[in-house]
Amino acid sequence: MVAMNPLRLKTDDDFMRRALDLAAQGRGAVEPNPMVGCVLVRDGNIIGEGYHQRFGGPHAEVNALRCCDNARGATAYVTLEPCCHHGKTPPCSDALIQAGVGRVVVAMADPFEKVDGGGLTQLRRAGIETELGVMQEEACELNAAYLTRIRTGRPFTIAKWAMTVDGRIATHTGQSQWITNEASRADVHQLRGRVDAIVVGMGTVTADDPMLTARPPGVRTATRVVFCAHRVPNVQSRLLQSARDVPVLLVVASEIEQAAVAAAEKRGARIYRCASSDPVAMIHEALDHLGSLEMTNIMIEGGGELMASFLNAGAIDQYELYVGAKVFGGRDALGPVAGEGFAQVAEAAALRLVGLQRLGENDVKLVYRGGLKN
């Protein structure tokens, strides 16, 4: 869709911000590829725009060029360095060169080994003026998950929980439904519908017998991943009963007997057996395995002991917290992160706020990042 500068955009930042907004529309549909947006501008007017809409489909630059009659001499604003290799689609650098664009402004370089500066080099060799780094921080924030997977080989991990204003996830009797309102719960299902995996521990499976599916279904179908340190789910659990329809992966400790594992496997579950029974070591092994499956985003849904193990492993990239307008109180009421915790304030995980949203009349969603260096 072409917009004739309805927002009176004027600067490189303005046009790149528009490209970033476009890129975000591909969230959940393009992974393991990055989200990318492109805006074509001539004489201060947008003459074409596009974004990467689905994995395997045309990239942002191609979609923008397709809705533009003539891009010769135009400036292309792209949120990520144009690709310069033949993958599922031809190189975007070639498309820009063939279209005759005069200038390409790029927010961030692509660290993917088959690009990694090559796209910009190709454009410069063709005589196209290039500029790198316009709104780079915002572009890195948008594609933090992609950057994590490319640089570490592991998926980006999102710790999610719902809690009361006083930080409880259940009353002292164990009741937890419902802490948050319908708008918050709908938002959680949208999140479930765009990640590659939803991760829980056996405590959650035993207590709640959850399905861990998005309702309604999202653009992705998440694999249900269960960390099994001492036992595997009962074959009558809803997870194993539905394993042939929605993927289930059991991350199994080395000490669990093969007979129990085989029974779960017979129900359709996939098995990843760790070399260790240590919770932190199991997390590191599992993240490497999930990365090898090209998973980009995974969501940890609980419970407290699993959250603590991920925290101790230094393996939480983002926190998405839903705060319901309730106060439970009670010294025995559970909090979202169990374990021994940190003894000193200076040891605590330091976070930075990257998102704040009001949901419904009284709920609030907080999004924090921690430990990620772009």
> Is 148 inside a domain boundary?
no
Q: Report the interhelical angle of 92-99 vs 118-125 (nearest 10°).
A: 20
Q: Is 343 annotated as a binding residue?
A: no
Mean pLDDT, the chain, rounded, equals 94
Structural domain span for residue 246: 153-370
**How much is the pLDDT for 308?**
96
pLDDT at 141 over 60: yes
Q: Is 178 annotated as a binding residue?
A: yes
Measure the CA–CA gap between 17 and 107, rounded to whole angstroms: 10
Average pLDDT over residues 48-54: 97
Task: Read off the pTM.
Answer: 0.92
- Is the same domain home to 130 and 172? no
- Is the same domain home to 79 and 228? no
Type of residue at 146: Y
> Is 175 inside a domain boundary?
yes
Q: Is 176 annotated as a binding residue?
A: yes
Q: Is 162 annotated as a binding residue?
A: yes
**How much is the pLDDT for 9?**
63
Query: Tell me, what DSSP letter sits at residue 347?
Result: G
pLDDT at 250 over 80: yes
pLDDT at 373 over 80: no
Per-residue pLDDT tens digits for 325-365 = 999 999 999 999 999 999 999 999 899 999 999 999 999 99
Measure the CA–CA gap between 169 and 153, rounded to whole angstroms: 32
pLDDT at 5 over 90: no
Which residues lie closer than 8 Å to 283 by C-beta, 6 or more apart?
227, 309, 310, 313, 315
Q: Which of 31, 61, 81, 320 is catalytic?
A: 61
**How much is the pLDDT for 1?**
43
**210 burial via Cβ count (<10 Å: 0-12, 13-18, 19+):** middle
Band the pLDDT of 224: cuts 50, 70, 90. Answer: very high
Residue the block writes with tokens 């017998």:
209
- CATH (domain of 91): 3.40.140.10
**How much is the pLDDT for 247?**
98
Q: Is 285 annotated as a binding residue?
A: no
Catalytic site includes residue 61: yes
- Is the same domain home to 17 and 52? yes
Q: What is the largest CA-CA distance in the chain?
A: 70
Average pLDDT over residues 136-145: 97
- Extract the tokens encoding 87: 């993958």
**How much is the pLDDT for 374?**
37
